[in-house]
Amino acid sequence: MIKVENLTKYYGKNIAIENVGFSLDEGEILGFLGPNGAGKSTTMNIIAGYISSDTGSVKIGGVDILDDPSAAKKKIGYLPEVPPLYNDMTVKSYLEFMFDLKKVRMPKDEHINKVCAMSKIENVKERIIKHLSKGYRQRVGLAQALLGDPPVLILDEPTAGLDPAQIIEMRKLISMLGKKHTVILSSHVLSEVQSVCDKIIVINNGKIVADDFTSKFTKSGRDTQRIRLVVEGREKNTYGILKNIDGVSEVIKKGETEKGCFEFTVESGADVRRAVYRALSKSDCTILVMSPIELSLEETFLNIISGKYNENGGGF
Ligand code: ADP
Ligand code: MG
C-alpha cells in the first residue's frame, strides 16, 4: 500500500533524514518511533506530499506522489503535529470548508456527520474551535483527516500534549481506525507504539536504526527485566535476600515508602518474580507491591546501539 524508498532531505547544510525507506501493507498500523528531532515529522510531511525530498520516492497504492500528486494525496488523510485548524470557525463550518477544499464528492452533511461520529466530536459540532480543549482539537484534526474516506492515515504525534484520559481515548480511536485503514503514526513513547502498532520503525538522527515487528521489540525489552518492589521488613535484611536470588543482577535501594516498608528496584536477566516471592515469604517479609518497570525508549535505544538487541534474536 505504501512504499517509501531512499528518502533524504537536507535543510540547508543539515541533513534531516537520510536514506529512509520502508513498505507497509494494506490494513497495517506502523509506528514511527524516535526522540524529538529524529526526523519523524520531516518523513511524514514528505509522505503526505507537504514538502519534497531531495532524493527518493513515495508510492501510495502504486501512485508516485511526484508523478500524480493529486491522485496520491486523495488516498491520504493527514493529521500534522499541529492540526491546521481555523480557530474562529465552528467545528462544523471548519469541516464543511475542508470538505470543499479537498473536493470530496460525497453527500456533504451525511459524510461530515459520519466523520464526527468516528472522531467522537458530535457534541461539539456547533462550538468555536478556539474554545475547545486540546483533546477535542486533536479529534477535530483527526475528523479533518478522515474527510473523503482516504485508505491511508498519517498521524503525527496524535497523543502529544493530551492528558492520560484523552490519550487512552485517542489510542482506542486509532486502533479502531486501523481496522479499515493503513495507518502511519509517530510517537516518542515506546509503550504507545507497542500497544497500538503492528510494526515499529525506530528513527534516530535521521536514520532508521531498527525496523522490526512489535513482538520482537517486546522480547528485547524483556531480556533485561526490571521490577519495582515494596516490601515490609528490615531494609538491610530484604536487600540481602534479594541480592542472593539466582538471576538477580542488581538491587537498588529506593528508600522507605511508609513506616517499615522499603522500595527496591530489582534487575535481572530472566523472570525472577516467583523466586522473589518464595525467598521473601520464607523470611516472613511481606510483598506490598511487585510490578514490572518498562524500559524507556532511551534504554531500548541503548540496547539496540550496544548490540544487545541483535544477540537476543532481533535480527536486523
Ligand atoms: P521530529 O518530528 O522527529 O521531532 P523533525 O522531522 O521535525 O523531527 O526534525 C528533524 C531535523 O530537521 C531536526 O534536526 C530539525 O531541527 C530539522 N528541521 C525540521 N524542520 C526544519 C526546517 N523547516 N528548517 C530547518 N530545519 C528543520
Ligand atoms: Mg515532529
Strand segments (E) across the chain:
2-11, 14-24, 29-33, 55-60, 63-64, 76-79, 152-155, 182-187, 199-204, 207-213, 225-232, 248-258, 261-268, 286-292
Mutate to test the pocket of ligand 1, among 18, 41, 81 (most ligand atoms within 8 A of CB): 41
Angle between helices 164-177 and 108-119 (to 10 degrees): 130
User: Which residue CA neighbors atom 26 of ligand 1 most closely?
Assistant: 11
Query: Could you give the CA distance from residue 135 to residue 42 in angstroms, rounded to a whole number?
Result: 24
Kindly report the backbone phi and psi dihedral angles of residue 252, in degrees, each rounded to the nearest multiple of 5, phi listed first: -115, 130
User: Which residue CA neighbors atom 16 of ligand 1 most closely?
Assistant: 37
Q: What pLDDT, on the 0 to 100 scale, is given for residue 315?
A: 32
Q: What does the DSSP assignment read for 155-222?
A: ESSTTTT--HHHHHHHHHHHHHHTTTSEEEEEES-HHHHHHH-SEEEEEETTEEEEEEEHHHHHHHHH
Indicate which ligand has the atom closest to the C-alpha of 43. 1
Contact by Cβ (8 Å): 211, 202 = yes
Cβ of 38 below 6 Å from ligand 1: yes
User: Which residue CA neighbors atom 24 of ligand 1 most closely?
Assistant: 11
Contact by Cβ (8 Å): 41, 25 = no
Cβ of 13 below 6 Å from ligand 1: no
Q: How many CA atoms lie within 13 A of 298 on its CB side?
A: 1
Query: Could you give the CA distance from residue 133 to residue 137 in angstroms, rounded to a whole number?
Result: 6
pTM score of the predicted model: 0.76
For residue 213, the CA-to-ligand 2 centroid distance in Å is 22
The one-letter code for the residue type at 232 is E
Rg over alpha carbons for the chain, rounded to the nearest Å, is: 24
Paired strand residues for 146: none
**Other beta carbons less than 10 A from residue 37's beta carbon:** 12
The C-alpha cell that represents 102 in the structure block: 479537498
How far are the Cα atoms of 113, 143, 228 from residue 251, in angstroms, in the given order?
Answer: 56, 48, 10
Q: What pLDDT, on the 0 to 100 scale, is given for residue 310?
A: 44
The C-alpha cell that represents 34 in the structure block: 524516535
Contact by Cβ (8 Å): 311, 284 = no
Q: What pLDDT, on the 0 to 100 scale, is given for residue 301?
A: 62
The C-alpha cell that represents 111 in the structure block: 459524510
Find the distance separating the first CA and the last CA of the chain, reported in whole Å: 23
Cβ of 11 below 6 Å from ligand 1: yes
For residue 253, the CA-to-ligand 2 centroid distance in Å is 37
In the chain (316 residues long), the average pLDDT of successive 10-residue segments reads: 95 95 92 90 95 94 90 93 92 97 94 95 96 93 96 95 88 92 90 85 87 54 78 96 95 95 93 95 95 72 56 35
Cβ of 45 below 6 Å from ligand 1: no
Cβ of 41 below 6 Å from ligand 1: yes
